[in-house]
Structure 1
Amino acid sequence: MRDGALSREHLRFVHETPRGGVLHCFVLDCSGSMLTGQRLALAKGLLIALFDRAGAMRAEAALVCFGGASADVRFGPAVPRWWNERWLEPVGAGGGSPLEAGVRRAAQLLERSARRRPAQQRWLWILTDGRTRDEPRRPADADEVVFVDFERGTLRLGRCEALANAWGARCMTPEALIG
């Protein structure tokens, strides 16, 4: 070999984080069934922890709440620099479970983000007890989807797990995320 020639020892693989950043879009079920057994309170506590993680990673986050007959964006997308419990205190619950409206609203948000930042990695987190008959389609612009299943009790419908399986997504309990 000539002096200064390129050899195998010079080559290295370096894994890089996505240059486009990461967006975590949280979809929170605020229906009446989430009031049973303090599910909504547990979901709010988990959201605070997840927003803190996103902020520490300098990732963008967004929050879509659905309940009654509507769904609306409550935060973001933005880097949650000063997220705290005061943002979640006014989030109440009641009425039906329009999961389809919540997923549709999140899909619009993810689509806008994909146009604005195509290299961004987009996560969709759906926090629900699955007490709905809606069967929404998986948003095309969600790279990763996680259902956080808040269903408790002996009579379980298993809709979160069924939707996760249909979407090729993960289904986790809140306890698995906390631990």
Structure 2
Amino acid sequence: MQGTPGKRIAWLPTLTAMRQDALRAEHLRFVREAPRGGVLHCFVLDCSGSMLGGQRLALAKGLLSALFDRASTSRAEAALVCFGGAGADLRFGPAVPRWWNERWLRPVGGGGGTPLASGVRQAAQVLVRSARRKPTQQRWLWILTDGRSGHQPARPLHADEVIFVDFEREAIRLGRCRTLADAWGAALFTPEELIA
């Protein structure tokens, strides 16, 4: 969310970056102007068995529905990649989600392993095609997962911004979303921070 300083401060991301610290220059986040080439939000949803515990998948689907609504309102393109079990597949887009609603997400089920690398690889293909088709488009990669995967995939080259949404709720946390976000130079949020 950090970027070239603009004229207006984006307060929610700034306060999130601050956490409990006193405000410093590195905490500041600015409102971005819409890029001339448009925006693509590529969402990667973890549908593995571990996401079924504690209604995490249901929470992720609710958040995803809200994010698709935001994309639609801003006329941005969106894509949805789901991963779980043995692999990953593209479920939507990229397209402007004019008719998107939660009925499309209801049939998305969960179970099996957590093939995060497959999900990231599928998303990278979406981003590469987008970069060829619309080179001036800004591409955002959103990864919604509890991080219960041992994979450490590389950051896709064509992702301009990356946001991890961490659904890990166990008493003993592995912290893999934090590890990947740090390695990728990505933002990290909990679902509650984005819903607020």
Q: Normalised by the size of structure 1, how large is the TM-score?
A: 0.91
The residue identity in structure 1 corresponding to 2:141 is L
Alpha-carbon shift at residue 16 of structure 1 (Å): 5.2
Secondary structure of residue in 1 paired with 2:123: helix
1:170 match: 187
Number of equivalent positions: 166
The residue identity in structure 2 corresponding to 1:47 is L
The residue identity in structure 1 corresponding to 2:81 is V
Alpha-carbon shift at residue 149 of structure 1 (Å): 0.1
Alpha-carbon shift at residue 64 of structure 1 (Å): 0.1
1:18 match: 35
2:70 match: 53
2:48 match: 31
Alpha-carbon shift at residue 154 of structure 1 (Å): 1.2
Structure 1 runs of 4+ off > 4 angstroms?
none
The share of aligned pairs that are identical, in percent, is 77
Structure 1 unaligned regions, length at least 5: 1-12
Secondary structure of residue in 1 paired with 2:71: helix
The residue identity in structure 2 corresponding to 1:99 is L
Q: Does 1:145 align with 2:162?
A: yes
2:174 match: 157
Give the Cα separation in 2 of the matches to 1:67 and 1:16: 35
Listed one character per residue, the Cα deviations across residues 35-64 of structure 1 (whole Å, up to 9, x for unaligned) are 000000000000000000000000000000
Listed one character per residue, the Cα deviations across residues 96-122 of structure 1 (whole Å, up to 9, x for unaligned) are 000000000000000000010000000
Listed one character per residue, the Cα deviations across residues 107-162 of structure 1 (whole Å, up to 9, x for unaligned) are 00000000100000000000000000000000000000000000003110000000
Secondary structure of residue in 1 paired with 2:110: coil
1:6 match: none
Alpha-carbon shift at residue 23 of structure 1 (Å): 0.2
Alpha-carbon shift at residue 17 of structure 1 (Å): 2.5
Q: Normalised by the size of structure 2, how large is the TM-score?
A: 0.83
